[in-house]
Amino acid sequence: MDVQRSGFFTEQNSAEVVISRMEACEDARLKEVMAVLIRHLHEAVKEIEPTQEEWMKAIMFLTKTGHMCDDWRQEFILLSDTLGVSMLVDAINSRRPTGASENTVLGPFHVDGAPELEMGADICLDGKGEPMLVRGRILDTDGNPLEGVTIDVWQANDEGFYDVQQKGIQPDFNLRGKFTTGADGRYWFKAVKPKFYPIPDDGPVGQLLKQLKRHPYRPAHFHYIITKDGFDPLTTHIFDPDDPYIRSDAVFGVKESLMARFEPIEDAAQQREAGFDGLYYDVEHDFVLARA
């Protein structure tokens, strides 16, 4: 008799027997996804040979991960991020032509409804941190400037916290803004120099990182969502290449093409011309959108 169809489970045929139970499933994609997951999960269990205690530990880890989740905290996404799965899913879903800017993780701190600001506005609402000028152009893959592009930008403050992590401490929408390009495709705004910061590490994912002797830090960055009708939306960052964690981002989000020099401007005339009355940092980075 066909062992798979008999329905009896053995250590050898474990994956096949479970997969064969889904035969009547009419959702072809679900059936395919579940079959692949079951096959790989059973393979992993066969390779690891967990004790009952170890398996229960894994179940308890996932239980705690679920309990940690609420409207503001998504511990499963952090798990996916720190295992490199978020970046892998992102890479698969954002293959672009040569020359187009690369995507990276969205992260959990984007909020809808950031204020729409005039080009040149300062997104820092509390006056804290080292001032920075962020500028560049939005281009198509032929190098033409793009008009009417929306740039949604957000960053952590110089203590490494987003406004939503410090409600009542930072003003709402601190270090967030939306800008729209004119005919020259240029963008520029004032901000503060971001610093490296730890991803939320007070839950089971942070505990796991500690046990694995991994640090929880992300190198200093600005986040962007850049959109224009007819073009592939770009969710990305720019990173400070001099950051101590640039080669060991806890969520694997750094790409060579997304590093942009954060240059200190010490020249008084240049400071005045840019609208600063002392030292500021300048970063220039062009983004290239691919046609949808």
Distance CA 265, CA 276 (A): 10
Q: What token pair was written down for 49?
A: 């040979």
- Of 259, 254, 249, nearest to 82 by C-alpha is 249
Could you tell which of Fe ion, ligand BEZ, none binds residue 108, using a CB distance below 5 to 8 A set by kind? ligand BEZ
Q: Give me the residues that bind ligand BEZ (CB under 6 A), please.
A: 78, 81, 105, 107-109, 199, 218, 251
DSSP structural state of residue 183? T
What's the min distance (Å) between Cβ of 251 and ligand BEZ? 4
What's the min distance (Å) between Cβ of 107 and ligand BEZ? 3
Q: Between 108 and 136, whose beta carbon lies closer to ligand BEZ?
A: 108
What's the min distance (Å) between Cβ of 62 and ligand BEZ? 19
Q: Between 136 and 198, whose beta carbon lies closer to ligand BEZ?
A: 198
What's the min distance (Å) between Cβ of 41 and Fe ion? 32
Could you tell which of ligand BEZ, Fe ion, none binds residue 251, using a CB distance below 5 to 8 A set by kind? ligand BEZ
Could you tell which of ligand BEZ, Fe ion, none binds residue 105, using a CB distance below 5 to 8 A set by kind? ligand BEZ
Could you tell which of Fe ion, ligand BEZ, none binds residue 175, using a CB distance below 5 to 8 A set by kind? none
Could you tell which of ligand BEZ, Fe ion, none binds residue 190, using a CB distance below 5 to 8 A set by kind? none
Q: Between 81 and 140, whose beta carbon lies closer to ligand BEZ?
A: 81
Q: Between 228 and 285, whose beta carbon lies closer to ligand BEZ?
A: 285
Q: Between 108 and 120, whose beta carbon lies closer to ligand BEZ?
A: 108
Q: Between 120 and 198, whose beta carbon lies closer to Fe ion?
A: 198
Strand order across the 176-180 sheet: 176-180, 150-154, 221-227, 234-239
Distance CA 260, CA 282 (A): 10
What's the min distance (Å) between Cβ of 58 and Fe ion? 29
CB within 8 Å of 57: residues ≥ 6 apart: none
Q: Between 33 and 111, whose beta carbon lies closer to ligand BEZ?
A: 111
What's the min distance (Å) between Cβ of 278 and ligand BEZ? 29
Q: Give me the residues that bind Fe ion (CB under 5 A), please.
A: 107
Encode burial over 241-257: b for 16+ CB neighbours within 10 A, e otherwise.
Answer: bebebbeebbbbbbbee
Which residue is closest to Fe ion by CB? 107
Could you tell which of ligand BEZ, Fe ion, none binds residue 241, using a CB distance below 5 to 8 A set by kind? none
Q: What angle do CA 231, 234, 238 make, to 5 degrees?
A: 145
What's the min distance (Å) between Cβ of 198 and ligand BEZ? 9
Could you tell which of Fe ion, ligand BEZ, none binds residue 194, using a CB distance below 5 to 8 A set by kind? none
Q: What token pair was written down for 56?
A: 């229960």
Answer whether 86's CB lies under 8 Å from 80's CB. Answer: yes
